[in-house]
Chains A and B, each alone.
Chain A
Amino acid sequence: EIVLTQSPGTLSLSPGERATLSCRASQSVDSLYIAWYQQKPGQAPRLLIYAASNRATGIPDRFSGSVSGTDFTLIITRLEAEDFAVYYCQQYGRSPWTFGQGTKVEIK
């Protein structure tokens, strides 16, 4: 099983600041099969990024994804009020599909 480790667990930032979220895979993962999701309290997850760096439909361009080896990064360039949420990375290249444990982005 591929274990995804997200860091940090919590990110305390102010609106307008840049957020950098990391996700490290325990084994090699084809970047085609990495996604990022946003989840707000009481809501279902929402797809942000697929294939490591492609924005899903309707996702603003302040969200971007990148990859370097087994390290995957989600960047939110300028945090807006609606971006404070929990973010999960996921790999879907090798069964079982797995999620990271999540990074909470909270208002400082």
Chain B
Amino acid sequence: EVQLLESGGDLVQPGGSLRLSCAASGFTFSTYAITWVRQAPGKGLEWVAHISGSGDRTFYADSVKGRFTISRDNSKNTLSLQMNSLRVEDTAVYYCAKNMLSGDMRNAFDVWGQGTMVTVSS
């Protein structure tokens, strides 16, 4: 069964840092681009960052560029999101999601994790 499992969400103060992880199983991890999508409480979905299967290409939303870093370890089937200089407006559930097809990064997301909650508050 194809699965994604996020972890690392926590309560952190503004200006602080947090690292999220996404453990993948059930598919050839290195051949699929993976995305982070977030959802603030009671709000809609927001794309955050995207990384190619090999990890050599990354894309970021303007709202997190320069503060967040997406990376992956294909030997461990793990995706990470390093979040620095956190702001109150970064408070959200963070989901990792897998591209439906390998190859082209322009894909719908066919498998999602259950999400991990990040709360930025003093």
Report which A residues bind B (CB closer than 8 A).
32-33, 35, 37, 39, 44-47, 50-51, 56-57, 88, 90, 92-93, 95-102
Contact = CB atoms under 8 A, between A and B. Distances in A.
A99 B108 contact: no
A87 B97 CA distance: 17
B110 A99 contact: no
Interface of B: 35, 37, 44-47, 50, 59, 61-62, 95, 97, 100, 106-110, 112-115
A98 B61 CA distance: 10
A57 B44 CA distance: 24
7 contacts: A35-B108, A39-B45, A90-B45, A92-B106, A95-B50, A95-B59, A97-B47
A99 B113 contact: no
A44 B100 contact: no
A33 B44 contact: no
B107 A92 contact: yes
Contacts of A50: 100, 107-108, 110
A99 B59 contact: no
Given A44-B112, A90-B108, A98 B47 contact: yes
Contacts of B97: 45
A11 to B, nearest CB: 16
Nearest to A44: B112
Contact of B100 (A47, A88, A102): A47
A35 B100 CA distance: 11
A97 B35 contact: yes
B113 A96 contact: no
B100 to A, nearest CB: 6
